[in-house]
Structure 1
Amino acid sequence: MRTDLLCTGISMPTISPSPPLLIVSYYIKQIKKNVWKWRNENGVFSVKKYPSEQQAEKIRFIHDKLQYIEDPFVLPVVESPQLDFIIQPWFQGTHTVNYSNEEDRKAVYSLLTRLHETNEIIDWEDSKVLYAFNLISKWQNRLLKMKEISFFVESFIGVNNTKILLMYGDMALKDMKAFDMKDRTLLHGDVVHHNFLSDGSAYKIIDFDLAVIGPKEMESILWMHRVLSEIDYDIHFLMSEFPMLETIVHQHKEAMMYPNELYREWLYAFALPVERKQKFIEQLVPYTNKALTEWPNLCYNLSKL
């Protein structure tokens, strides 16, 4: 299947106020299974097709709310009669952030803080397209799934290391403090680095597919999990760089000890088709070994806070 189509008569979603006719596209490049880069007479756009109109409506709702705040950090959604598509201007000259870079870390956390503070002006709780998020419940289910595929993990990192990996999850969940669900806000839901773009002067958040409502502390912890592997799991360094996170770390030490990143990646590896599995695991095994080497020190430092 070709992913680059030049000057073709492919039927792409129309952009209002254009009539819903066949558009002659100057250039279409498939980025993912349901995402295209589309250049036409109106400019360059990102086009994403959703499984249902309801899912696309959730994205449209979030962007409609966020694009009117001061100095918006999201890209606008272009009107289109095809309700299962989301069309946005292409953010030109951008790169995804790198969590090993201090400037990018600080910029992303600033964006997340601004996002979480929108509950002061937007009543996300009143939304009919966003559901409440329970992180602990999700982590309990994730650990159960990890135990179900332990045979698979053992075949790559050994029985002992797999037992240790599962033990960290059991220990963390056993004493994990519940989150205060009273003060909830919009959470992005997927703070992986490639959902934050920079053109060198501005940063934007993209891909709100997994957005939910919940306490901001949940997303702060998930973001710290993403960052720790890029800074050698040094919790003291992280708190010195982001002193505003100290209270969250102190209150939720056990949540910081939960090996969420490792569980998610191994579950993803298990689900991959055979032709893609080996290449991914070749990267995942050293990543896991590095984490397991650093985890005792991380847990010790957290326990002493």
Structure 2
Amino acid sequence: MSTYIRQIKKNVWKWKNENGIFSVKKYPTVEQAEKIRLIHKELEYMEKPFILPIIESTQEDFIIQPWYKGDHTVSYRFKEDRKAVHLLLSQIHDTNKLVDWEDSNLFYSFNLISKWQNRKWKMNEISFFIESHIGWEQTKFLLLCGDIALRNMKPFNMEKRTLLHGDVVHHNFLSDSSDYKIIDFDLAVIGPREMENILWMHRVLPEINYDIRLLIHEFPHLEKVVRRYKEAMMYPNELYREWLYAYSLPKERKQKFIEQLIPYTNKALTEWPNLCYTLSKL
């Protein structure tokens, strides 16, 4: 059997040996790797584990796991995938009934509003860059949406905290013909589940033409979250993150990314007034 090790990212390798194929990830600190081990240790005892096991290693700052090859890419465009992913997140959030995550001192308490205030401040700093690509009026509207949302945003109840995955992008969920798995707990934090539900809905909305009523119809229990945190739903988080990322890219990658970001932005800003109106009427 052939063996090889191939670098996938700066700190991730695909390793094939006589025992199979594995993912190998190096963490900046032992404490960060220990956080991942703790999460997997607690979650692997669930009735139907939805994580990949960790292979024991003498290197404390490395995490080794079996390489999982799904048969389709999870996409929030598909109802089946939306249902499956949200179920996984709900199962993670429910673990606070069994696990005292805060007792480990490996997680920090996540404050979404503080993060969004900082993100809006950074957007103001690069407004000249955004304006050069989408024009003054669109840039002004984009920044105004964040200002209004932050000004009226209700605080979250920080007393009811649980484990949050921290990065609910679709490619952190893997699927084969019979199962779904969740990976990459690097950004896992402690916080109220409502925060992650809102971040997840922000990820989903662009894939369903910003139809918030459709999302509530599919997930009726989220209506209470949407109603209470309307302003958080109105915050253009996805657009802010993508423009900040575009600004940070090296010149050779920047232009290609922006060519995709501009139509995405125009679509979002076209739909935003209707989204905010619908939210205000709930």
TM-score bracket for this pair, using the shorter chain length: over 0.9
Residues 259-286 of structure 1, C-alpha deviation per residue, up to 9 Å, x if partnerless?
0000000000000111110111010000
Kindly indicate whether residue 160 of structure 2 is the aligned counterpart of residue 188 of structure 1.
Answer: no
Kindly indicate whether residue 80 of structure 2 is the aligned counterpart of residue 80 of structure 1.
Answer: no
Matches within 5 A, 1:34-53: 34-53=11-30
User: Which residue in 1 is equivalent to 2:274?
Assistant: 297
What is the rounded CA distance, in whole Å, between the counterparts of 1:93 and 1:146 in structure 2? 37
User: Which residue in 1 is equivalent to 2:242?
Assistant: 265
Pairwise CA distance, 1:94: 4.1
What is the rounded CA distance, in whole Å, between the counterparts of 1:141 and 1:107 in structure 2? 32
Identity %: 72
What is the rounded CA distance, in whole Å, between the counterparts of 2:174 and 2:6 in structure 1? 19
What is the rounded CA distance, in whole Å, between the counterparts of 1:129 and 1:161 in structure 2? 42
Kindly indicate whether residue 190 of structure 2 is the aligned counterpart of residue 230 of structure 1.
Answer: no
Conserved? CA contact 1:38–1:45, under 8 Å: yes
Kindly indicate whether residue 143 of structure 2 is the aligned counterpart of residue 161 of structure 1.
Answer: no
Where 2:47 maps in the other structure, the secondary structure is coil
Q: Quick one: which amino acid aligns to residue 287 of structure 1?
A: Y
Where 2:203 maps in the other structure, the secondary structure is helix
Report the TM-score when normalising by structure 1: 0.91
Kindly indicate whether residue 254 of structure 2 is the aligned counterpart of residue 277 of structure 1.
Answer: yes
Determine which structure has more spread, i.e. the larger CA radius of gyration: 1
Higher-RCO chain (CA-CA 8 Å, sequence separation at least 6): 2
What is the rounded CA distance, in whole Å, between the counterparts of 1:200 and 1:36 in structure 2? 26
Residues 165-205 of structure 1, C-alpha deviation per residue, up to 9 Å, x if partnerless?
00000000001000011111000000000000001210011
User: Which residue in 2 is equivalent to 1:240?
Assistant: 217
Residues 57-82 of structure 1, C-alpha deviation per residue, up to 9 Å, x if partnerless?
11111111111121111111111001
What is the rounded CA distance, in whole Å, between the counterparts of 1:102 and 1:114 in structure 2? 18
Conserved? CA contact 1:146–1:263, under 8 Å: yes
User: Which residue in 1 is equivalent to 2:40?
Assistant: 63
Query: Greater share of helix residues, 1 or 2?
Result: 2
Q: Gaps (5+ residues) in structure 2?
A: none
Pairwise CA distance, 1:303: 0.4
Q: Kindly report the root-mean-square deviation, in angstroms, between the aligned alpha carbons of the 2 structures.
A: 1.1
Pairwise CA distance, 1:151: 0.5
Where 1:147 maps in the other structure, the secondary structure is helix
Q: Gaps (5+ residues) in structure 1?
A: 1-5, 8-25
Conserved? CA contact 1:96–1:195, under 8 Å: no
Q: Quick one: which amino acid aligns to residue 47 of structure 1?
A: V
What is the rounded CA distance, in whole Å, between the counterparts of 1:96 and 1:54 in structure 2? 31
Change (3 A) 1:94 1:85: farther
Where 2:14 maps in the other structure, the secondary structure is strand
What is the rounded CA distance, in whole Å, between the counterparts of 2:212 and 2:204 in structure 1? 10
Kindly indicate whether residue 109 of structure 2 is the aligned counterpart of residue 132 of structure 1.
Answer: yes
What is the rounded CA distance, in whole Å, between the counterparts of 2:250 and 2:111 in structure 1? 30
What is the rounded CA distance, in whole Å, between the counterparts of 1:234 and 1:93 in structure 2? 29
User: Which residue in 2 is equivalent to 1:121?
Assistant: 98
Q: Quick one: which amino acid aligns to residue 234 of structure 2?
A: M
Pairwise CA distance, 1:37: 1.2
Report the TM-score when normalising by structure 2: 0.98
